[in-house]
């Protein structure tokens, strides 16, 4: 028996096959719950329910204000369950309980709040001035797209679920969501919360199950109109192929290898803290992490010693302790990936200045945990594999540069273009550098601050489209141009028909 159920067509259910899979706390290795393992048939049933809810149900026909009221009810319910949600998220993903309380739950809440506001404030109809045609009246109707599927990764499970469900619902679409298999708990809990908000059946469907079956169905099924995917660039390419069969709309939020540029006029103490925060928050398992620190040569040696001194103070341990700065990585598998890259770094670059393994002072109950220390490689060539490939763990490459032009060139020498940072005492100079970085976000004297109120997404192989902001609402709407010729009889305003001689 599974401890949670799938949410399909307004009802809770086991997988059709009856299969289950277990989910674990990556800090202790303890099993947390057995989850229903959906298959293709469950995915098809969920998609059909979402199709019916869109084609025949009330949701897309409701006013923005009515939908906003339902989203605000979800906010109320999330707030009522916030302690439980935060605990589940931290236990299942390895992120710290502090992050879960300060970022994950409030982040999900603010996404539902923002898109409720969008539903109320963004007009459904915009009248267009003038007429490029013979006398006519033209306007734009913004309409929902239809059935929207979401496929999300394991690093911010609850926030990612909210980023997919909230804008889809706000704009009048119906939704089917698949969380990552390593971290499906909070999404299944969210399903229970959404059920309490009493939306029409089929408007939201949530399924735990493998990417290879459930995920592929969500990206390829002909009844789906749009797929939004967050995850690796490799799987993103596959999603585009699958969606191309019926030319679905696609939004992709993919990998990154972001550069955090430290100019020689920066406050070194602040910039060192900014670089560490930008890299090691959540163990580096953040797509926009600034995992390449580009440091100007005049301040290089001093900056490196500050970095290492501060990095050694970061506490790695039990994610449920409030004093822990970094919990375990999401899985032993993720530790193995990091170990592979650190070995490669030792061959390519030499010994890291700190880290390079698990902490050696962990208590007994954590000795099977997926822990890894903040690891810093200095004097890295940007062409090295560890500077080009996304590691998705606590590994920082420090790369020296001489001029601002060179910093920009190195920052842009990447297949990715998700984000970046510039740390400087001179905002004008920092802005000039930021303007030349080919990324979807640049933080000046800061890092990692993301809000539903501001657009987020990538250039180059970091993705297509923007989530969040007004852009992230409009991307869930179709644009219909309506043209009215006011002449209901006669030909004075229909002379173009004459081209055909009719
Ligand atoms: P992943 O392997 O790409 O998986 C992401 C999601 O896709 C999971 O739900 C996965 O399901 C599913 N999936 C896997 N294969 C699939 C397929 N063939 N068809 C459809 N769905 C499939 O990524 P991850 O390992 O979970 O996360 C790490 C990566 O995500 C990193 O590269 C990181 O940069 C990226 N990421 C990007 C952002 C962003 O906003 N740009 C945010 C977070 C993470 P299973 O879990 O069942 O395999
Ligand atoms: Mg994966």
Q: Is residue 457 part of a domain?
A: no
- CATH number, domain of 42, equals 3.40.605.10
Give the relative orientation of helices 105-121 and 157-170 as an angle to the nearest 10 degrees.
10
Helix, strand, coil shares of the chain, percent, nearest 5, are 40, 20, 40
> Is it the case that residue 133 has pLDDT exceeding 90?
no
- Return the ligand number nearest the Cα of 153: 1
Per the structure, the complete domain to which residue 182 belongs is given by: 31-254+462-481
Both 396 and 418 in one domain: the answer is: yes
Q: How confident is the model at residue 134 (pLDDT cuts 50, 70, 90)?
A: confident
- CATH number, domain of 319, equals 3.40.309.10
Q: Looking up tokens 């302690």, which residue turns up?
A: 83
| Distance, CA of 66 to CA of 71 (rounded, Å) | 9
Distance of CA 473 to the CA centre of its chain: 15
48, 148, 287, 390: the catalytic one is 287
Q: Is residue 277 part of a domain?
A: yes
Do residues 265 and 428 make contact, with C-beta atoms less than 8 angstroms apart? no
Q: How confident is the model at residue 135 (pLDDT cuts 50, 70, 90)?
A: confident
Average pLDDT over residues 435-441: 98
Strands 420-423 and 259-262: parallel
Average pLDDT over residues 480-492: 95
Average pLDDT, the chain: 97
Structure tokens given for 261? 């540029």
The pLDDT tens digits of the residues spanning 15-70 come to 999 999 999 999 999 999 999 999 999 999 999 999 999 999 999 999 999 999 99
Q: Is residue 2 part of a domain?
A: no
Please name every residue paired with 353 in a beta bridge, in sequence order, or none if there are none.
none
> Is it the case that residue 131 has pLDDT exceeding 90?
no
The pLDDT tens digits of the residues spanning 93-107 come to 999 999 999 999 999
Ligand 1 pocket check for 42: Cβ under 6 Å = no
Do residues 411 and 420 make contact, with C-beta atoms less than 8 angstroms apart? yes
Average pLDDT over residues 416-439: 98
The pLDDT tens digits of the residues spanning 304-317 come to 999 999 999 999 99
Both 466 and 375 in one domain: the answer is: no
Q: Is residue 497 part of a domain?
A: no
Q: Is residue 16 part of a domain?
A: no
- Concatenated DSSP letters of 165-228: HHHHHHTT-EEEEE--GGG-HHHHHHHHHHHHTTPPTTSEEE----IIIIIHHHHH-TT--EEE
Q: Is residue 68 part of a domain?
A: yes
The pLDDT tens digits of the residues spanning 221-262 come to 999 999 999 999 999 999 999 999 999 999 999 999 999 999
Both 468 and 322 in one domain: the answer is: no
- DSSP 3-state assignment of 152? coil
Both 292 and 195 in one domain: the answer is: no
Both 76 and 54 in one domain: the answer is: yes
| Distance, CA of 372 to CA of 327 (rounded, Å) | 9
Q: Is residue 89 part of a domain?
A: yes
| Distance, CA of 230 to CA of 291 (rounded, Å) | 19
Both 331 and 311 in one domain: the answer is: yes
Both 43 and 67 in one domain: the answer is: yes
Both 209 and 348 in one domain: the answer is: no
Q: What is the maximum alpha-carbon separation in the chain? A: 89
Q: Looking up tokens 């393994």, which residue turns up?
A: 357
Structure tokens given for 52? 């019916």
Q: What per-residue confidence (pLDDT) applies to 1?
A: 77
Both 248 and 276 in one domain: the answer is: no
Both 50 and 82 in one domain: the answer is: yes
Q: Looking up tokens 């919990």, which residue turns up?
A: 327
Both 98 and 233 in one domain: the answer is: yes
Residues in the chain: 502
Pocket test for ligand 1, best of 15, 153, 212, 242 (most atoms within 8 A of CB): 153
> Is it the case that residue 484 has pLDDT exceeding 80?
yes
Strands 31-36 and 125-128: unpaired
Neighbours of 141 (CB within 10 A): 14
Residues 27, 82, 167: CA angle, nearest 5 degrees: 100
Q: What per-residue confidence (pLDDT) applies to 340?
A: 98
Do residues 68 and 199 make contact, with C-beta atoms less than 8 angstroms apart? no
Against a cut of 0.95, is the pTM above it? yes
Q: What per-residue confidence (pLDDT) applies to 361?
A: 86
253, 288, 390, 467: the catalytic one is 253
Ligand 1 pocket check for 181: Cβ under 6 Å = yes
Do residues 416 and 460 make contact, with C-beta atoms less than 8 angstroms apart? yes
Ligand 1 pocket check for 211: Cβ under 6 Å = yes
Ligand 1 pocket check for 467: Cβ under 6 Å = no
CA 32 → CA 2, 318, 333, 364, distances in Å? 11, 15, 18, 19
Residue 297 DSSP code: G
What is the percent of the chain where pLDDT is above 90? Answer: 98
- DSSP 3-state assignment of 398? strand
Do residues 475 and 251 make contact, with C-beta atoms less than 8 angstroms apart? yes
Both 216 and 271 in one domain: the answer is: no
Q: Is residue 19 part of a domain?
A: no
Active site annotation includes 287: yes
Given the CA of residue 210, which atom of ligand 1 is nearest to it?
47
Cα of 22 from ligand 1 centre, angstroms: 19
Number of domains in the chain: 2
> Is it the case that residue 269 has pLDDT exceeding 90?
yes
- DSSP 3-state assignment of 370? coil
Give the relative orientation of helices 157-170 and 64-80 as an angle to the nearest 10 degrees.
160
Given the CA of residue 154, which atom of ligand 1 is nearest to it?
26
């Amino acid at each position: 028996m599974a401890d949670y159920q799938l949410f399909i067509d307004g009802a809770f259910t086991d997988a059709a096959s009856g299969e289950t899979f277990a989910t674990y706390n990556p800090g202790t290795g303890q099993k947390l719950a057995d989850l229903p393992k959906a298959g293709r048939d469950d995915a098809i049933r969920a998609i059909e329910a979402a199709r019916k809810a869109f084609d025949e149900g009330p949701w897309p026909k409701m006013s923005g204000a009515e939908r906003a009221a339902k989203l605000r009810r979800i906010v109320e319910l999330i707030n009522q369950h916030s302690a439980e949600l935060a605990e589940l998220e931290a236990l299942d993903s390895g992120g710290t309980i502090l992050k879960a309380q300060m970022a994950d739950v409030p982040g999900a809440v603010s996404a539902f709040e923002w898109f409720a506001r969008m539903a109320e404030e963004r007009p459904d109809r915009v009248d267009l001035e003038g007429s490029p045609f013979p006398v006519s009246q033209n306007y734009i109707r913004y309409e929902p797209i239809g059935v929207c599927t979401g496929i999300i990764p394991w690093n911010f499970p609850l926030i990612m679920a909210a980023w997919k469900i909230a804008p889809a619902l706000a704009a009048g679409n119906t939704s089917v969501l698949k969380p990552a298999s390593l971290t499906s708990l909070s999404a299944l809990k969210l399903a229970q919360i959404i059920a309490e908000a009493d939306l029409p059946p089929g408007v939201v469907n949530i399924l735990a199950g493998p990417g290879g079956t459930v995920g592929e169905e969500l990206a390829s099924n002909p009844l789906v109109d749009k797929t939004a995917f967050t995850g690796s660039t490799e799987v993103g390419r596959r999603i585009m192929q699958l969606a191309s069969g019926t030319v679905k709309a696609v939004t992709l939020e993919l990998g990154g290898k972001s550069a955090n540029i430290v100019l020689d006029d920066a406050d070194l103490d602040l910039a060192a803290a900014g670089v560490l925060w930008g890299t090691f928050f959540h163990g580096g398992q953040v797509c926009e992490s600034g995992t390449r620190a580009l440091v100007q040569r005049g301040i290089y040696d001093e900056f490196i010693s500050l970095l290492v001194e501060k990095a050694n103070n970061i506490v790695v341990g039990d994610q449920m302790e409030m004093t822990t700065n970094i919990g375990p990585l999401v899985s032993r598998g993720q530790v193995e990936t990091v170990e592979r890259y650190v070995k490669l770094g030792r061959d390519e670059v030499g010994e890291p200045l700190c880290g390079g393994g698990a902490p050696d002072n962990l208590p007994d109950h954590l000795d099977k945990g997926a822990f890894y220390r903040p690891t810093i490689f200095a004097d890295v060539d940007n062409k090295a594999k560890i500077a080009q490939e996304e590691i998705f763990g606590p590994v920082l490459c420090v790369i020296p540069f001489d001029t601002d032009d060179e910093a920009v060139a190195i920052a842009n020498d990447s297949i990715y273009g998700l984000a970046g940072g510039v740390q400087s005492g001179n905002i004008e100079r920092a802005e000039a550098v930021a303007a030349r970085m080919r990324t979807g976000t640049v933080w000046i004297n800061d890092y990692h601050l993301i809000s539903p109120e501001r657009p987020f997404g990538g250039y180059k192989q970091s993705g297509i489209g923007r989530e969040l902001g007004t852009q992230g609402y409009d991307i869930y709407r179709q644009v219909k141009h309506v043209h009215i010729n006011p002449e209901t009889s006669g030909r004075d305003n229909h002379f173009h028909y004459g081209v055909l001689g009719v």
